[in-house]
Amino acid sequence: RAGARGAAMEPECRVLSIQSHVVRGYVGNKAATFPLQVLGFEVDTVNSVQFSNHTGYAHWKGQVLNSDELHELYEGLKLNKVNRYDYVLTGYTRDTSFLAMVVDIVQELKQQNSNLVYVCDPVMGDKWNGEGSMYVPKDLLPVYRDKVVPVADIITPNQFEAELLTGRKIYTEKDALEVMDMLHAMGPETVVITSSDLQAPQGNDYLIALGSHRKTKADGTRITQRIRMESPKVDAVFVGTGDLFAAMLLAWTHKHPNNLKVACEKTVSAMQHVLQRTIKSAKVQAGEGNKPNSAQLELRMVQSKKDIENPEIIVKATVL
């Protein structure tokens, strides 16, 4: 009996997540760990920074991990022979030597396990009122483009980041598909442009995300699945949403390896549930007619446990 029960258990799946940590709130590892654990993954976290809270508040204090310290932590895992991972997940980084060290670690882990999947959110900047600007040092771009993206398997840039990585602007959906093809050619087999300023067929109240999954079959032929998603815009500035998105995409692509449509529908629907719950709660806290502040807009992560675990599909993807 015990044997039969044991056979039903899923094999352990372990993620090394190298991201920022905040004492209060949900960004970086704080936004990624809980959803991954709820969805059944073992998560080992390296905190690239430890701050009191995210930097959108009026004040923040804390420490930053440098590349030597990152290497030292990794060496400890290696000495104990516990450096075998199924996934690596990375997000916001400000330092080129730290990013280069991450690449070294990913390459070494891929030698240990050739099936390792590296999920990278290449966080560099965003667009405000149509104008893109970088919020990390400019010298990170060549490191992402030439070193990180080539070893990544899944990347989740926004439109501006996809444009930076390929050097090509996106004005139409056709441009976006071509940019995703350029990104595939750089290495990753899954590319999701998490947000764009493309016109949504459903109208201006919707945000378009696009996904592309390219697989090479045993006989060498390539098949590409492409999808478009339109999610209702939520009128507030949330922090940590990209980190949550990348973590859930990792989980759902693991559970639906050959179905980007379903993986993205579950990811984006869960995001919507979390954001709707967060904005509702923030408005109540702020009081009638007041704009919610950073603390009130922290993602309602724990309260959304059921939605993260088993999201009701409220955003459908269109296969292109």
Tens digit of each residue's pLDDT (9 = 90 or more) over 251-303? 999 999 999 999 999 999 999 999 999 999 999 999 999 999 999 999 999 99
Average pLDDT in the 107-118 region? Answer: 97
Instruction: From residue 98, give the alpha-carbon distance in Å to each of 46, 53, 204.
Output: 12, 21, 39
Helix ranges, the chain (H): 2-8, 28-38, 67-79, 96-112, 140-143, 149-151, 159-166, 173-186, 241-255, 260-286, 305-309
Residue 8 has a pLDDT of 59
**In the chain, where are the structural domains located?**
14-285+297-319
DSSP-assigned beta bridge partners for residue 119: 89, 154
Residue 16 has a pLDDT of 98
Cα–Cα dist 24/16, whole Å: 22
Residue 268 has a pLDDT of 97
Average pLDDT in the 195-222 region? Answer: 92
Residues 6+ apart with CB under 8 A from 165: 122, 141, 144, 145, 149, 157, 183, 186
Residue 128 has a pLDDT of 83
The mean predicted confidence, pLDDT, of the chain is 95
Q: Which of 95, 153, 243, 307 is catalytic?
A: 243
How many CA atoms are closer than 13 Å to the CA of 292, on its beta-carbon side? 18
Residue 1 has a pLDDT of 45
Backbone angles phi, psi at 133, to 5 degrees: -150, 150
Cα–Cα dist 168/38, whole Å: 38
- Residue among 109, 85, 113, 90 at smallest CA distance from 14: 85
Cα–Cα dist 118/134, whole Å: 23
pLDDT digits (tens, 9 = 90+) for 1-42: 445 454 456 789 999 999 999 999 999 999 999 999 999 999
Residue 205 has a pLDDT of 93
Q: What percent of the chain stands above pLDDT 70?
A: 97
Average pLDDT in the 94-119 region? Answer: 97
Annotated active-site residue 121? The verdict is no
As given in the structure block, the two tokens for residue 319 are: 């296969």
Which residue reads 């639906």 in tokens? 256
| Contact in structure between 20 and 48 (CB atoms under 8 Å) | yes
pLDDT band at 217 (very low <50, low <70, confident <90, very high): confident
Average pLDDT in the 190-216 region? Answer: 94
Residue 180 has a pLDDT of 98
Q: What percent of the chain stands above pLDDT 90?
A: 91
| Contact in structure between 311 and 270 (CB atoms under 8 Å) | yes
Asked whether the predicted pLDDT for residue 131 surpasses 90, the reply is: no
Fold category of 14-285+297-319 in CATH: UDP-N-acetylmuramoyl-L-alanine:D-glutamate ligase (3.40.1190)
As given in the structure block, the two tokens for residue 277 are: 């719950």
| Contact in structure between 148 and 187 (CB atoms under 8 Å) | no
Average pLDDT in the 163-181 region? Answer: 97
